[in-house]
Structure 1
Amino acid sequence: MFVRRRHAVAAVLAVALLTTGCGSPASSPTPEPTATAPSPTDSDTAAFAAAEATYRAYVDALNAVDLSDPTTFEPVYALTTGDVQEADREALSNYNSQNVTVSGSSRTTSIEFAGSVQQDRVQLAVCLDVSTVEVRAADGESLVSPERVPIQSLLVTVEETNGGHPVIVRIEGREGNPTC
C-alpha cells in the first residue's frame, strides 16, 4: 500500500490516514496502551514523550475532522509541516469538495521509541488500527481499498521547531519490529 519515494509516501499515507482516520470522534475515548519505555536518558525520554503526545494529538485531530467543515482541518495542519502538511491539505480539500464522508475512527495501538534523538528529531514506531473506519463517496460507494491492512505499521518522524513546538515531518510505512 505504501510507495517508497518520500513525497509519494507522504501523500499516500496522508490519504490513507485521512481515509482511515477521520470522522466524528468516538462518544467515549478508548484508553490508549502504554508505550514501551524509551531510552533511559532524561533528554531522550522527554523528547519521546513530546513526540508521542504530538502524534496522538494528530490522530485525535484527524478523528475530529468533519469533512464538510474546513475549519475542523486547522488542528491537523497545526501538528504537521512540509510534505505531510501539504498532503493533508490536498487530501482534506479534495474530500471536502467531493462530499466524501467518513465514519469510525483510528486508534493508536502502540507507539515505541524507534531510535536515538538526533538534531531534535524523534522517530516513532507506530501501530495504527484503522479497522473501524469507513470512507464513502457522495454516491455512498466505499473508497476503502479491499486490500487495506486493518492495523497500519508506521514510522513517524517528529521534529521540534525553532519555537520548541514539535510537529510531524514524515510518516511512512514501516517493516520489522515491533510488528503490528
Structure 2
Amino acid sequence: MIPSSAIRLRATLTAALVATLLSVAACAPSPHTTPSPTATPLFANKEDAFAAAEATLSEYVEALNAVDTTNPDTFEPLFKLSSGTVEKSDRKNFSTMHADRQVLSGSTKVLTFQGLESRLPFTTVEAAICLDVSAVRITNADGSSGVSPDRPSVYALTVEFVAAGEGRYTVDRATPTEDVSC
C-alpha cells in the first residue's frame, strides 16, 4: 500500500501573476528607474516542463519502491524528491511504519501521466496520474495485513510539482480526483 502521503500528492495563479508582472516590467522604464531583471524560465516550453515533472514522478516512485521500513536511511531519497504536504505525510507515515515494525513490499507502478497545466516561468506543474498499487503489501509485526480491504488497486490523482532548483521539480501535493479515468 502506498502511504496516504503518496496518495494525497494545481497550478497556482502565481505563474500567471509573475508573467503579467514581467510583461509590465518590460515596458520602457522612466529615466529614474533601473529595469528589473527578467526571470529566466526553467524550461523552454510547457512540454519540457511536463517531461521534467514526469521524470520526477518516475524517480519518486522508484524511491518509494526502494523504501525498506526497517531501515530509515532508505526514506531519505524519497524525501529529497518531495516537498509540501507530500513530504510531511511521507515523513510521518514512514516513521510510524518503522516504529510499528510494519514491512512494505511490492511495487507501485505509474500507469499514466498527463500534464494539465504549467505557465511561464514553469515553476509549477499540475498533472493527472494513475498509480497501480495492486502489488503493494503492508505486513504488520504480527504477520497480519496492514492493507485496508477497501483499498482500490488503482488511484487517480491530481499532482502538483514545484520547482526545486534549475531544471528539477519535487512532488509537492497529491489529491484524489474523479476527473481522471484510470
Taking structure 1 as the reference length, the TM-score comes to: 0.74
Contact 1:13-1:172 within 8 A present in 2 as well: no
Residue 133 (str. 1) matches residue 133 (str. 2): no
User: 4+ residue runs of structure 1 moved beyond 4 angstroms?
Assistant: none
Superimposed CA distance per residue, residues 31-60 of structure 1 (whole angstroms, 9 cap, x where no aligned partner): xxxxxxxxxx95101100110000111111
Superposed CA RMSD in Å reads: 2.0
Question: Partner residue of 1:47?
Answer: 49
Contact 1:13-1:171 within 8 A present in 2 as well: no
**2:65 maps to which of 63, 66, 82:** 63
Question: Partner residue of 2:92?
Answer: 90
Rg comparison, structure with higher value: 2
**2:4 maps to which of 7, 13, 17:** 13
State the shift of 1:84 in Å.
Answer: 1.3
CA distance in 1, matches of 2:179, 2:145: 30
Gaps of 5+ in 1: 1-11, 18-40
State the shift of 1:15 in Å.
Answer: 6.3
State the shift of 1:13 in Å.
Answer: 2.9
CA distance in 2, matches of 1:96, 1:144: 16
CA distance in 1, matches of 2:167, 2:112: 25
Instruction: Specify the code of the residue in structure 1 equivalent to 2:84.
Output: G
Taking structure 2 as the reference length, the TM-score comes to: 0.73
State the shift of 1:161 in Å.
Answer: 2.6
Count of matched residue pairs: 145
1:1-180 equivalences under 5 Å are: 13-14=4-5, 16=7, 42-117=44-119, 120-177=123-180, 179-180=181-182
Contact 1:123-1:156 within 8 A present in 2 as well: yes
* Structure with higher RCO (Cα < 8 A, 6+ apart): 2
CA distance in 2, matches of 1:161, 1:176: 27
Contact 1:47-1:117 within 8 A present in 2 as well: no
